[in-house]
Chain A
Amino acid sequence: NAGVTQTPKFRVLKTGQSMTLLCAQDMNHEYMYWYRQDPGMGLRLIHYSVGEGTTAKGEVPDGYNVSRLKKQNFLLGLESAAPSQTSVYFCASSYSIFGGGNYEQYFGPGTRLTVT
């Protein structure tokens, strides 16, 4: 199993450009998440999804949109990139609250985005 994969690994954008980050998981997880990581601030939740076709806002959703058209994929879009969106973006997935266990979230390797 590949686990959680993210595409691309690196990207540089100019202010105002748009892009989509792709997250894919092969563990048949119901839940998926997008976080951003900034120095000294830990990880902050942008958006999440509890199932195919459903999304919800996290702590810092402004400037981002998401879609979950297929269970295994979760897309994060930036319609008009701003320098404040320079960050490392992580995708994660987990079983649902009915899956039992310790509800561990599994993380992808990250996408480093720079907006100039």
Chain B
Amino acid sequence: GEDVEQSLFLSVREGDSSVINCTYTDSSSTYLYWYKQEPGAGLQLLTYIFSNMDMKQDQRLTVLLNKKDKHLSLRIADTQTGDSAIYFCAERFTGGGNKLTFGTGTQLKVEL
């Protein structure tokens, strides 16, 4: 499969903004996703962006997509301790099966 890369760790102070970055490799991806995994739990969809969009905003979340550089980012405004989790980006391929390729995950730690 294609490689989707993320940095492993990010630490921020409560109230600051967090920016989590992702680099993907398949230019034919139609949807790109951000999933959140809390400790001991499964993954939950946070937000997504369609490949013909550059930006999507959803309350505290802003997703930016740079198709030229194959770069995706997730900005969390006013980060709270409840945002501490692992964040995965994922890309959906146009082939059969609705398959996703996930990044390595970024562990976000929010400090008081």
Contacts and interface: CB of A to CB of B under 8 A. Distances in A.
Nearest to A109: B42
A50 interface: yes
A93 B92 CA distance: 14
A43 B1 contact: no
A103 B42 contact: no
Interface of B: 1, 4, 8, 31, 33, 35, 40-45, 48, 88, 92, 96-105
Contact of A94 (B43, B98, B104): B98
Interface of A: 4, 31, 33, 35, 40-45, 48, 50, 56, 58-59, 90, 92, 94-97, 102-105, 107-110
A58 B99 contact: yes
A104 B104 CA distance: 19
A103 B98 contact: yes
B42 A107 contact: yes
A107 B4 contact: no
B97 A42 contact: no
Contact of B4 (A42, A90, A96): A42
B38 to A, nearest CB: 11
Nearest to A95: B98
Given A94-B98, A107-B44, 5 more contacts: A45-B1, A97-B96, A103-B92, A104-B45, A107-B42
